[in-house]
Amino acid sequence: MWRMRINMQKLSVRGVTLGAAVLLGAGMVAGCSSSSDDASDETGGEETTQVLPPVIVEPGQTEATAKVGDFIDIVVDEVLGTTISTDNSDVLEIYQARQDGDAIFNPGAKALAAGDATITVTLPDNTGYDIAVTVTE
């Protein structure tokens, strides 16, 4: 009888060890995936777009670099009442500061094409500064 208990304990420990190894192996196989150069997902090969964080321009910053498609977020101390403009609308599409309900949005721009543009920031007290923006491909 005693010998049978020892064998049952060994069998039970082996079963747990084997079960853990099987689960670990299955987890490792499930974690492996192949990568491809096309940006397709598993929903029929449709391309997906990764959303990148915006280029942040701090108050008083006078230069910025972005890539085509990037958004530029211009941080200002007083958002409401600040306006911006650009000298090259072919390179940058600008967005004015705004309030939508409780949300307040900084002014900003979207990089449309490679090139150089200047954003002029005019603060509520009518002072301002320029930001030289270089957009690359």
CA separation for the pair 20, 12 (Å, rounded) = 12
Partners of residue 48 on adjacent β-strands: none
Provide the pLDDT for residue 48.
72
Provide the pLDDT for residue 35.
47
Whole-structure pTM value: 0.64
Q: pLDDT per residue over 74-107, tens digit each? A: 999 999 999 999 999 999 999 999 999 999 999 9
Considering the four listed CATH numbers 2.60.40.1080, 1.10.490.10, 3.30.1490.190, 1.20.120.140, the one that applies to the domain covering 55-136 is 2.60.40.1080
Q: Choose among 81, 83, 126, 128: nearest CA to 108.
A: 83
Is residue 83 within 8 A of residue 123, CB to CB? The reply is no
Q: pLDDT per residue over 24-53, tens digit each? A: 454 444 454 444 454 444 555 667 777 789
Question: What are 50's two structure tokens?
Answer: 């990764």
- How is the chain split into domains, by residue range? 55-136
Q: What percent of the chain has pLDDT over 70?
A: 66
